[in-house]
Structure 1
Amino acid sequence: MNLADEFESILKNRNVTSLFQPIVRLRDGEVLGYEALSRGPKDSPLYSPIKLLNIAHEQNRLWELEQLFRISAIEKASILKLDKLLFLNVDPDVINDDSFKKGFTMNFLEKHNLPPDSIIFEITERTAIKDYKKFNEILNYYTNQGYKIAIDDVGAGYSGLKTISKTKPNYLKIDMELIRDIDKDSFKQAIIKAFVDTAMSTNIKLIAEGIETKEELKTLINLGVYGGQGYLLKKPSENITDIPKEIKNLIINYNKITSNVFKYSANYHYIGTIMEEAKAFSPDTPCKVIKEYFDNSDVEGACLIENNKPVGLIMKNHLNSVLAKQYGFAVYSKRPVSLIMDDAPLVVDYYTPINIVSEAAMDRSNDKVYDNIIVTKGAKYSGIVSIRKLLLYTTTAEKNYARELNPLTSLPGNSIINRVLNDTISLNKPTCILYLDLDNFKAYNDVYGFDNGDKIIQLTAEIIKTQAKSMFPYNSFVGHVGGDDFVCLIDAPLKECELFCKNVISEFDEKILNFFNKKDRLNGYIKSEDRNGNVYVYNLTSVSIAVLYGLVNKFAAPSELAQYMSSIKKEAKKEKYSNYVIKEIY
């Protein structure tokens, strides 16, 4: 049988294979939903979806094949009693077809016990969108019924910024090419971080595709990506299955690392910790009922939900303003609150860091900046956070955090350093820990004074911080132990840690010369006199770096680790000039 006949047989007998791959929330490892992936018959030369789609395109029967894919996926999802989101791939040319509308009626979904708000149309741009106005009209037809939209393969092909800005999707799925080896590529990390920030401020959920290694997963969690899928989490399966327990535990542990080691600020507590479990209403609720609720409670706003999912927000001041207008009460009191609700409020996930929510809230338009924030958990309504409570928390957190910073350099001080080191030595993973110390610094203070000495301390802090931020923007920590001692943690290969040391030394040795007079610079040393009148000669101030790389969980406590690092530092300080000494431990 040739391929054309095989293809005809597949359509005639509706013989396709539907697989399901879980899409996982990267905050806690919970499955959000499943992407339906279709194949040909297992024993067919057209089992590959690429071959199948190519021949469908050649035969001008793409619509028939994609319709078969969707129907098969929905029927199987219904049989398997799917209670999560279902992501269905749809080509722009197909969704524009009138036949698509007829095939996706409410009755069709009801027959299979799937509500529209559980269906995500994943726009796969194998072809360019030619008419965005018409395309958006089609999308609005579906979103008004509760369906949601995802843009697939962002960063590849036609899935560019224009498509995102024109369609305003609910989900963005980042192409696997941007995810591959992201742990080793700071440029990719910067791109994804920009997507994360944009997604947060626009209420879009970001999903990383094609996660294949633990290092990629850890980096994506560190960057704040909302969801992920890929072979590491779970391969596509014919059944609806959860991810393995060990992978879920890995995600939970990576989140602990991210929150405690590299995001040491108290602002990285989750928004769910300050959420109020406030009552929610149907958008069909009469306005007078909502007003009675506001009048008899101290809440400032209420979330409006359908199937336990947020669809809008009504604020007390806005409702009172509408009802206070001439004829306002007569017109609106018995009518549904949906007529005056905000249908695009700020909605955030329970596990979103508070500082990120605070930034998004302040980025809203002036007329919305004081509106409540809706919090969801697993896409379902969980509660509300008022701006008053958000500001109170962030102000208190900033005061508490400021007390833990070194007053001279504003770097994290000993209490934070100890927490970070405690978390680090509890992990069974290679880590790079660096202790940095200035040489001949006391002699400098004796000659040039403490004010100039403080400036050198600030210079050193800035060099370490800038180099760490430049080389490891999302996986480094810098702390100030006190005096001229600093500590730095880096999650990177040993070669990159060594390059970091070289960069710090190079920049320090160049800039430190500005703190000596011309005579001392030319001599290459300074003379210092002690209290007894004895004159000593000291080399110009330099920096010594003690580096420990490997599994540090052999140390019982930070004090034991510090003792070991002290021995490495003594070895480094034997040299007359700036240098570093690396010890590996496994």
Structure 2
Amino acid sequence: MDGSPHSTQDIAAIVADRRITPVFQPIYQVRDGSVFGYEALTRGPVGPLHNPVNLFAAAEAQGLEAQLDALCRTAAANEFRRQGLPGALFVNVSPQIIVDLCDQRDAIVQTLQQWDMAASAVVVEISERHPFDPIDAIVDAIRHFCEAGFRFALDDLGAGYAGLRVWSELRPAFVKMDRHFVSGCDRDSAKREFLRSIKGMSNFLGCQVIAEGIEREEEADVIRSLGVDLAQGFLLCRPEPAPPMTATMVFQGGRRDGFGAGLTFNESLERLVQPSATVAPTDTAESVLDRIREWKELPDIPVVDGSSPLGSVNRVNLLDRFSRRYTRELHGRRPIRHFMDDLAPVFELSTSIEEASRQLSSNSRDVLPSCAIIVADGQFCGVVPTTALMRRLSEAQMRAARYSNPLTLLPGNVPTMELIQEFLDAGTAFRVAYCDLNNFKPFNDVYGYAIGDEALRLVAEILAEQVDADLDYIGHIGGDDFVVVSRDPEFEATVHRIAAAFGERVRRLYRPEHVAMDGILAVDRAGNEAVFPLMRLAIGVVKPDPAMCDSHHDVATMAADAKHHAKMNPPEYLFFCRRNSPRCVVEVGEGDGPDEPLHLYKV
């Protein structure tokens, strides 16, 4: 026996006797929780080699990795077909094995056809944790597999090696985020920013993002708020020999679009999509030329392979190129895929108008594309003209301006109530904080409207600094009234920070003598002089139950009542209400003081 932990005979026997068990972990669509496909994983026999890491490490040490890898792929495909699992089959293959299998790709396709499986139903995951060496040979092999109909996923993006280069050169159908960036993304703004940037790049490159390693509901909430397409993880379902085929409840209840410290335009591209003629990548250039002379209304013609868009052909560029002498004779019979442009970006149907417009405007090219290609789960469904997109964005911006507060530029009452209603309808868990300035009127009377406006801008500034832009929304609904709508599970701590920050910084707006006396002399509503304490920010917080609130009016009633209690609750002027609907009544028990919790009961 050699010096490795497991003998050659151990690994060879496992391969010869096929003593492995394929298990499958579902990959879910974030928008509705339905199953998109399954990642095939492997478990060895009972003992130290049951763990796949140990199993493959031992096989590699004994030079049997290729044999074990082939056994795992075959067993996974057989079991996937036997169980009749829906969607795509994701299989893990190392970059070097892809090169070794390149000459066998046609035989692999034939085998799949015998099993009634299309090559497009198989997604090959290439992990960035493996060296891409030599990278040119690996890239070339992957291209050949793509031409045979297979789809690829770049796994563990961000873990190292040449992932970004491969992504940019190959345009894989899927990108899987390394679990490091998903774990704790609800508590780490840097991780959220990385996820957001990868999602933005994927929109432009026309691939879907898979977030793996989701283990907590808060992580799932962030993934959904960022518009990530697909997800997997222990929270959703662990790898199982016979996995479920039903949707996960984690993503039921509708998509939760992102918040922000200002207006957002969360309307998706769906209503703007227009049908479009398409050409196949194998169509000859001269046949496409004959057709586009009739399609005068189409500046860009999508090139679609089956139902998967590959790019587009610009009408003007193609006509110009083939108007040159001998070009048609020399190149007319070449496939049109050789003449595709990379101008037209690809967006998922669920992409918001705001995000699509941002991607278009951030394009480094001098000329905007005439249209964007739209896909639903990677399948072509139409185009959106750039003019229509910009027109709709302009309309949304004009509407936002009409309903925004001119002083703070924050959204006003109408969009705030619409947002609350949206989350009630979707069954989304959220909190509402109603913020109001104590003693703002006497301050405004003594210092004047200009300094009074400074106080309001200070509130807006502190709210924007303290809230989580991914999970919280700020509205200025009139006067000195502000509202924060939050999905942050740690929002109570945020409220305390907001109140403390305002209490400290508002003192800078007062004259030294007023700070010294901790108040100002002003006239009260009865016309009598009185001393009013320095302004404090009163915040009442409610957590509505969507199942018990009929509309946003119920939430407004609860929030107003919570704010009233906060204004009467010194010294912090905070009130966290435990009612979840207006049909709950507050009962103050004997001995309850201002610092003691209120007893609540339902009627």
For the pair 1:519 / 2:518, whether they are aligned, the reply is: no
Q: CA deviation at 1:118?
A: 3.3
Q: CA deviation at 1:221?
A: 0.5
- Answer yes or no: is the 8 Å Cα contact 1:300–1:386 preserved in 2: no
- Answer yes or no: is the 8 Å Cα contact 1:509–1:578 preserved in 2: no
Which residue of the partner structure matches residue 199 of structure 1? 202
Q: Give the Cα separation in 1 of the matches to 2:306 and 2:367.
A: 25
For residue 393 of structure 1, give the secondary structure of its aligned residue in structure 2: helix
Which residue of the partner structure matches residue 104 of structure 2? 102
CA, structure 1 residues 83+302, in 2 after alignment: closer, same or farther (shift >3 Å)?
Answer: farther
Which residue of the partner structure matches residue 503 of structure 1? 497
Q: CA deviation at 1:292?
A: 4.4
For the pair 1:411 / 2:410, whether they are aligned, the reply is: yes
CA, structure 1 residues 374+30, in 2 after alignment: closer, same or farther (shift >3 Å)?
Answer: farther
Which residue of the partner structure matches residue 280 of structure 2? 282
Q: Give the Cα separation in 2 of the matches to 1:530 and 1:216.
A: 50
Letter in 2 for 1:464: L
Q: CA deviation at 1:460?
A: 1.1
Q: CA deviation at 1:263?
A: 10
**TM-score, normalisation: structure 1:** 0.87
For residue 251 of structure 1, give the secondary structure of its aligned residue in structure 2: coil
Which is worse superposed, 61-70 or 130-139?
A: 130-139
Letter in 2 for 1:253: G
Which residue of the partner structure matches residue 438 of structure 2? 439
Which residue of the partner structure matches residue 538 of structure 2? 544
Letter in 1 for 2:174: Y
Which residue of the partner structure matches residue 489 of structure 1? 485
Which residue of the partner structure matches residue 57 of structure 1? 60
Q: Give the Cα separation in 2 of the matches to 1:461 and 1:101.
A: 63
For residue 251 of structure 2, give the secondary structure of its aligned residue in structure 1: helix
CA, structure 1 residues 263+135, in 2 after alignment: closer, same or farther (shift >3 Å)?
Answer: farther
Which residue of the partner structure matches residue 272 of structure 1? 270
For residue 499 of structure 2, give the secondary structure of its aligned residue in structure 1: helix
Q: Give the Cα separation in 1 of the matches to 2:561 and 2:171.
A: 57
For residue 584 of structure 1, give the secondary structure of its aligned residue in structure 2: coil
- Answer yes or no: is the 8 Å Cα contact 1:150–1:172 preserved in 2: yes
Q: Give the Cα separation in 2 of the matches to 1:160 and 1:331.
A: 37
Matches within 5 A, 1:171-320: 171-238=174-241, 242-244=245-247, 247=248, 250-255=250-255, 257-258=256-257, 267-297=265-295, 298-320=297-319
CA, structure 1 residues 421+174, in 2 after alignment: closer, same or farther (shift >3 Å)?
Answer: same
- Answer yes or no: is the 8 Å Cα contact 1:7–1:46 preserved in 2: no
Q: Give the Cα separation in 1 of the matches to 2:243 and 2:526.
A: 82
Q: CA deviation at 1:213?
A: 3.5
For residue 381 of structure 2, give the secondary structure of its aligned residue in structure 1: strand
Which residue of the partner structure matches residue 364 of structure 1? 363
For residue 60 of structure 1, give the secondary structure of its aligned residue in structure 2: coil
Within the candidate set 35, 40, 53, 1:31 is matched to 35
Q: Give the Cα separation in 2 of the matches to 1:170 and 1:338.
A: 17
Letter in 1 for 2:222: T
* Per-residue Cα deviation, 1:88-119 (whole angstroms, up to 9, x for no partner): 2112333343x563366444444444444333
- Answer yes or no: is the 8 Å Cα contact 1:78–1:112 preserved in 2: yes
Which residue of the partner structure matches residue 535 of structure 1? 529
Which is worse superposed, 63-72 or 188-197?
A: 188-197
Q: Give the Cα separation in 1 of the matches to 2:342 and 2:90.
A: 23
CA, structure 1 residues 368+283, in 2 after alignment: closer, same or farther (shift >3 Å)?
Answer: farther
Aligned-residue sequence identity (percent) comes to 26
- Answer yes or no: is the 8 Å Cα contact 1:363–1:369 preserved in 2: no
Q: Give the Cα separation in 2 of the matches to 1:532 and 1:354.
A: 52
- Answer yes or no: is the 8 Å Cα contact 2:155–2:178 preserved in 1: yes
- Answer yes or no: is the 8 Å Cα contact 2:540–2:559 preserved in 1: yes
Which is worse superposed, 274-283 or 261-270?
A: 261-270
- Answer yes or no: is the 8 Å Cα contact 2:154–2:172 preserved in 1: yes
Letter in 1 for 2:253: N
CA, structure 1 residues 526+159, in 2 after alignment: closer, same or farther (shift >3 Å)?
Answer: same
Matches within 5 A, 1:377-456: 377-425=376-424, 431-456=430-455
Which is worse superposed, 337-346 or 414-423?
A: 337-346
Which structure 2 residue ranges, 5 or more long, are not aligned?
Answer: 581-603
Q: CA deviation at 1:386?
A: 1.5
Q: Give the Cα separation in 1 of the matches to 2:405 and 2:194.
A: 32
Q: CA RMSD in A?
A: 3.3
Letter in 1 for 2:352: P
Which is worse superposed, 220-229 or 371-380?
A: 371-380
- Answer yes or no: is the 8 Å Cα contact 2:96–2:138 preserved in 1: no
For residue 253 of structure 2, give the secondary structure of its aligned residue in structure 1: helix
CA, structure 1 residues 338+263, in 2 after alignment: closer, same or farther (shift >3 Å)?
Answer: farther
Q: Give the Cα separation in 1 of the matches to 2:311 and 2:558.
A: 57
Q: Give the Cα separation in 2 of the matches to 1:531 and 1:59.
A: 88
Q: CA deviation at 1:82?
A: 6.3
CA, structure 1 residues 575+69, in 2 after alignment: closer, same or farther (shift >3 Å)?
Answer: closer
For residue 475 of structure 2, give the secondary structure of its aligned residue in structure 1: strand
Q: Give the Cα separation in 1 of the matches to 2:90 and 2:525.
A: 78
* Per-residue Cα deviation, 1:525-544 (whole angstroms, up to 9, x for no partner): 22234799743332222221
Letter in 2 for 1:359: R
CA, structure 1 residues 516+44, in 2 after alignment: closer, same or farther (shift >3 Å)?
Answer: closer
For residue 206 of structure 1, give the secondary structure of its aligned residue in structure 2: strand
* Per-residue Cα deviation, 1:256-285 (whole angstroms, up to 9, x for no partner): x436x7799563222222111112221233
* Per-residue Cα deviation, 1:533-586 (whole angstroms, up to 9, x for no partner): 743332222221122346475444433443343343333323676632222236
Which structure 1 residue ranges, 5 or more long, are not aligned?
Answer: none
CA, structure 1 residues 286+547, in 2 after alignment: closer, same or farther (shift >3 Å)?
Answer: same
* Per-residue Cα deviation, 1:365-406 (whole angstroms, up to 9, x for no partner): 426632421111232211111212211221122112222212
Q: Give the Cα separation in 1 of the matches to 2:305 and 2:561.
A: 63
Q: CA deviation at 1:65?
A: 0.6
Letter in 1 for 2:403: E
Letter in 2 for 1:364: N
Q: Give the Cα separation in 1 of the matches to 2:435 and 2:570.
A: 15
- Answer yes or no: is the 8 Å Cα contact 1:17–1:39 preserved in 2: yes
Q: Give the Cα separation in 1 of the matches to 2:461 and 2:261.
A: 19
Q: Give the Cα separation in 2 of the matches to 1:26 and 1:177.
A: 19
Q: CA deviation at 1:447?
A: 1.8
Q: Give the Cα separation in 2 of the matches to 1:530 and 1:214.
A: 50
Letter in 2 for 1:59: Q
**TM-score, normalisation: structure 2:** 0.85
Which is worse superposed, 554-563 or 455-464?
A: 554-563
Within the candidate set 3, 20, 44, 2:24 is matched to 20
Which is worse superposed, 540-549 or 410-419?
A: 540-549
- Answer yes or no: is the 8 Å Cα contact 1:437–1:543 preserved in 2: yes
- Answer yes or no: is the 8 Å Cα contact 2:312–2:340 preserved in 1: yes
Q: Give the Cα separation in 2 of the matches to 1:376 and 1:429.
A: 27
CA, structure 1 residues 478+265, in 2 after alignment: closer, same or farther (shift >3 Å)?
Answer: closer
- Answer yes or no: is the 8 Å Cα contact 1:287–1:335 preserved in 2: yes
CA, structure 1 residues 262+30, in 2 after alignment: closer, same or farther (shift >3 Å)?
Answer: farther
Which residue of the partner structure matches residue 146 of structure 2? 143
Higher helix share: 1
Q: Give the Cα separation in 1 of the matches to 2:274 and 2:444.
A: 54
Which is worse superposed, 514-523 or 376-385?
A: 514-523
CA, structure 1 residues 532+24, in 2 after alignment: closer, same or farther (shift >3 Å)?
Answer: closer
Q: Give the Cα separation in 2 of the matches to 1:312 and 1:279.
A: 13
